[in-house]
Structure 1
Amino acid sequence: MEDKRLISELYDAIASSYEKLYGEEQLAKLSEIMKYLPERSFQAVLDAGCGTGLFFEKLSEIGREIIGLDLSWEMLRSARGRACRFNVHLVRGDLEHLPFHSECFDLVVSVTVLPVSSSNEQALLELGRVLSSNGLAALTVPKEAKIVEEVLRTLRQLNIGIRGFYEKSYIKDAVIIAER
């Protein structure tokens, strides 16, 4: 629990400058994810670790209902303007204990969140729980072999199939597209 508090405090502290520091990099990761998603609309989309809402505009183009989840109050406060503009519902919550019913999202997007989680396995278990049958998970993780191997192994253990794994030199993270 102490880890969660520290993570929340860290992101609270950088919320006002987050986009200046990381915005371009994060949007490049989302752009890469979008290349690998099927051209269809999604009923319910979870932006898990939504931060300041950088992805809301793009996600609203492919999803009917968008939920932005973050642990940091200040990040969510920063996301409010975009949330209103793109009709996104904001929820404060923990990736390891998602406050949603099982199988309620047909797309879950989580960009650079898993290495921040204190338990990647528990976070992936929860993401798998809320992912509907035939739903897609689009994740990015640092290219460190240990993290990538752990995430891929855990997804397989959860019977979530890997549709694609992509490492591109122009983004810092690896992209994983998985299907339930």
Structure 2
Amino acid sequence: MSEWDKKRGLMHRYDLTAHIYDMQYAEEQTAKIEAALDGLKMEKHSLVLDAGCGTGLLFGYVADKAKTTVGLDISRKILLQAKKRAENFQNIHLILADADNMPLKENIFSHVFGITLIQNMPNPAKTLNEIRRVAKEYAAIVISGMKKAFTLEEFEELLRDASYNIVALKDEGLKCYVAVCTKLYH
């Protein structure tokens, strides 16, 4: 099966479940978000990207702290759910796009989140490289990886191979690993 066939299947699955996603996963997603934000600094001039934003659960945590938040997802119907959540804020913009081919400039975001994203992608390394491309030099990059998809060693290796420096890694009480990273330069 090609990468695009897998992505179409993923898009279809999220389109079908968008209306019940929060009922099924909000508690789990909120725990990941809170773990990711614990100790993470964000200033009023911050530009935030939520790659694979889903229903926009992150928005309520970052929109008031950041200048601009961009939510990007491949599923149109799940973005419609995110749009409802974004209506409460003036600084949230939504983009229907593939996280492997983001229509965004290089080195622009001070904070990039990929929560519950990479295990859904056909080529997680490609996704991590694209996230790295749009992140500023000293950006905080938050990536989660489901424990059922990766061992801790596999997750750490995937991040290191994509030239990420792991600053903090959290997994206690979570179904995933949550890594706060920066870019590595060679």
Task: Please indicate the TM-score interval, normalised by the length of the shorter structure.
Answer: over 0.9
Runs of 4+ in structure 1 off by over 6 angstroms are none
Deviation at 1:150, TM superposition (A): 3.9
Q: Secondary structure at the match of 1:37?
A: coil
1:156 partnered with 2:160: yes
C-alpha RMSD of the superposition: 1.7
Distance in 1 between residues matched to 2:45 and 2:28, nearest whole Å: 25
- State the 1:39 CA deviation: 5.4
After TM superposition, give the deviation of residue 22 of structure 1 in Å. Answer: 0.4
Once the 2 structures are TM-superposed, how far is the Cα of residue 121 of structure 1 from its aligned partner?
A: 0.5
Task: Calculate percent identity across the aligned residue pairs.
Answer: 30
Name the counterpart of 2:13.
10
Mark the runs of 5 or more structure 2 residues left unpaired by the alignment: none
- The residue number in structure 2 matching 1:116 is 120
Select the structure that is richer in helix.
1
1:1-180 equivalences under 5 Å are: 1-38=4-41, 40-41=43-44, 43-87=46-90, 88-144=92-148, 146=150, 148-168=152-172, 170-180=173-183
Q: Could you tell me which amino acid in structure 2 is paired with residue 105 of structure 1?
A: F
Per-residue displacement from partner, 1:154-175 (whole Å, max 9, x unpaired)? 432343211011221x221111
Distance 1:105 1:147, change over 3 A: farther
| Displacement after TM superposition at 1:93 (Å) | 0.9
Q: How far apart, in 1, do the equivalents of 2:140 and 2:122 lie?
A: 23
Amino acid at match of 1:114: I
Question: Which runs of 5 or more structure 1 residues have no equivalent in the other structure?
Answer: none
Query: Take 1:48 and 1:3, find their aligned partners in 2: how far apart are those partners?
Result: 18
How many residue pairs match? The answer is: 179
TM-score scaled by length of structure 2: 0.89
SS of the residue aligned with 2:136?
strand
Offset of 1:140 from its aligned partner? 1.1
Q: Deviations over 1:35-74 (max 9, x none)?
A: 1312544521001111111111111133110000001000
CA contact (8 A) 1:141 1:147 kept: no
Sort the Cα spacing of 1:145 and 1:21 in 2 relative to 1 into closer, same or farther, 3 A: closer
Q: Distance in 1 between matches of 2:176 and 2:81?
A: 24
For 1:53 and 1:3, how far apart are their aligned partners in 2? 23
Distance 1:171 1:22 in 2: 13
Distance in 2 (CA, whole Å) between partners of 1:8 and 1:100 is 20
Contact 2:125 2:162 in 1 (8 A): no
